[in-house]
């Protein structure tokens, strides 16, 4: 096989597109084929640092994990000033298994316990990687970090420079249901961005800010998923926002009624934290919605009203609905709300 046989006549942009589907482990193996194969990844605008592969989770030694982190540090250094357009990091909790001796009825036995390993000290590198990507003009940043506080320390994994990155169009953060992490906001509780998509899953706002204001004329999609009572209020000033998905114990999206371009809304709320009046205020605010999804916990709060009552509320969005997905439990009085929605969505009142 000649040097770089498969890519010798392929333009760089086409080769980069092909390589964008490879995780960093596979990209490393690819770089061993030839000189051209070694150079192509260093100029690739799409990087996927997926450390969740089986070789680097529980079955891995700390030594292997640190070697990989060292290599990624070196890789980013050699990547130089080449633009990083898309950057994804996935990192799962890493533990070591220790045998613990114990006695049962005077019989010696052992049990296995998993403990945080020493390589947790290396996770601060993630902060540097994100900062490098931000300085490089990253457009899409996707972080899936599933490690506990003992492994990542007290410093936020995502710094304020990410929010202030003018090139960033898509920000997706997933810190795992069992490992919620803090997100360091800019010094001001109000900041603007060029984001088009913002997806936050199990994210806490640093320093317990009571309200976070995000201004973006370009933001079109906002998703927030978090199962906790202690939430900061989000005031999203986004005149072109089209899609909102919200799954949390509370709905703290201020001024949702000012989002005049909303077309799709998913409300996945928790019944113990909401009453029917709160839900009514939310539904009244989404007057332009064409696609609506409500989970059965949310529709449970609709059971206090009958069809006649819903008609008297005259919710503006109902007459514009094109698609509705209402989940409800058997026997729930929320069927009255569903009947009201179907009648008025189909026949215009």
Residue 314: which region, alpha, beta or left (left: phi > 0; alpha: psi -120 to 50)?
left
Within-domain flag for 21: yes
Within-domain flag for 234: no
In the chain, which ranges are E strands? 46-50, 86-92, 95-104, 107-116, 140-146, 170-174, 181-183, 190-192, 197-201, 203-205, 211-215, 221-226, 233-237, 243-248, 253-254, 264-269, 291-294, 323-326
Over 60: is that where the pLDDT of 98 sits?
yes
Token pair for 203? 């994210």
Within-domain flag for 334: yes
Share the mean pLDDT of the chain: 76
Can you name the residues that pair with 198 across neighbouring β-strands?
Answer: 171, 222
Residue 29 three-state SS: helix
d(CA 56, CA 53) in angstroms, rounded, equals 6
What pairing do the DSSP bridges indicate for beta strands 233-237 and 95-104? unpaired
Within-domain flag for 96: no
- At 14-71, the pLDDT tens digits run 888 888 888 777 877 888 888 888 888 888 888 888 877 545 444 457 777 778 888 8
Can you name the residues that pair with 99 across neighbouring β-strands?
Answer: 112
Contacts with 183 (C-beta within 8 Å, 6 or more apart), sequence order: 156, 158, 173, 200, 203, 204, 205, 206
Over 60: is that where the pLDDT of 5 sits?
no
What is the pLDDT at residue 231? 63
Calculate mean pLDDT across residues 259-287.
Answer: 78
Backbone angles phi, psi at 184, to 5 degrees: -75, 120
Identify the helix (H) or strand (E) that includes residue 296: helix 296-299
Within-domain flag for 115: no
Tell me the residue length of the chain.
Answer: 349
Can you name the residues that pair with 103 across neighbouring β-strands?
Answer: 108
Residue 238 three-state SS: coil
d(CA 264, CA 221) in angstroms, rounded, equals 9
Can you name the residues that pair with 269 across neighbouring β-strands?
Answer: 248
End-to-end CA distance of the chain: 71
Q: Give the closest residue to 304 by CA, choosing from 326, 325, 330, 334.
A: 334
Residue span of the structural domain in which 299 resides? 263-349
Within-domain flag for 275: yes
Per mean pLDDT, which range of 119-133, 161-175, 239-253 is the poorest? Answer: 119-133
- At 70-94, the pLDDT tens digits run 888 888 888 888 889 999 988 876 6
| Number of domains within the chain | 2
Within-domain flag for 295: yes
pTM of the model: 0.80
Residue pair 294/338 in contact by the 8 Å Cβ criterion: no
Q: Give the closest residue to 241 by CA, choosing from 280, 286, 279.
A: 286
**Sign (positive or negative) of CA dihedral 268, 293, 281, 219:** positive
d(CA 232, CA 205) in angstroms, rounded, equals 7
In this prediction, residue 4 has a pLDDT band, given cuts at 50, 70 and 90, of very low
Within-domain flag for 9: yes
- At 334-343, the pLDDT tens digits run 788 888 888 8
């Amino acid at each position: 096989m000649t040097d770089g046989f498969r890519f010798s006549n392929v333009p760089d942009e086409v080769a980069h597109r092909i390589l964008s589907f490879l995780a960093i482990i596979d990209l490393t193996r690819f770089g061993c084929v030839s000189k051209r194969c070694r150079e192509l990844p260093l100029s690739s605008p799409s990087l996927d640092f997926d450390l969740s592969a089986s070789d680097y989770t529980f079955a891995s030694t700390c030594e292997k994990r640190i070697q990989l982190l060292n290599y990624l540090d070196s890789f980013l250094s050699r990547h130089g000033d080449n633009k990083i357009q898309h950057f994804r990091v996935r990192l799962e909790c890493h533990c070591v298994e220790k045998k613990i001796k114990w006695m049962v009825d005077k019989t010696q036995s052992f049990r296995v316990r998993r403990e945080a390993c020493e390589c947790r000290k290396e996770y601060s590198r993630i902060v540097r990687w994100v900062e490098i990507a931000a300085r490089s003009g990253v457009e899409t940043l996707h972080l899936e970090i599933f490690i506990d506080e003992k492994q990542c320390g007290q410093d936020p994994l995502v710094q304020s420079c990410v929010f202030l990155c003018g090139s960033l169009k898509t920000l997706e953060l997933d810190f795992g249901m069992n490992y919620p992490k803090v997100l360091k906001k800019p010094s001001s509780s109000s900041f603007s961005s060029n984001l088009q998509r913002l997806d936050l899953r199990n994210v806490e706002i640093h320093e317990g800010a009571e309200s976070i204001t995000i201004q973006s004329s370009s933001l079109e999609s906002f998703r927030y998923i978090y199962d906790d009572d202690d939430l900061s209020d989000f005031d999203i000033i986004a005149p072109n926002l089209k899609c909102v998905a919200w799954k949390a114990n509370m709905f703290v999206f201020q001024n949702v009624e000012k989002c005049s371009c909303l077309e799709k809304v998913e409300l996945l709320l928790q019944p113990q934290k909401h009453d029917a009046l709160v839900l009514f205020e939310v539904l009244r605010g989404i007057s332009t919605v064409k696609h609506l999804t409500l989970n059965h916990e949310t529709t449970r709060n609709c059971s206090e009203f009958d069809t006649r009552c819903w008609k008297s509320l005259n919710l503006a969005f109902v007459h514009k609905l094109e698609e509705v997905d209402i989940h409800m439990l058997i026997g729930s009085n929320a069927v009255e709300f569903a009947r009201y929605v179907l009648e008025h969505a189909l026949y215009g009142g």
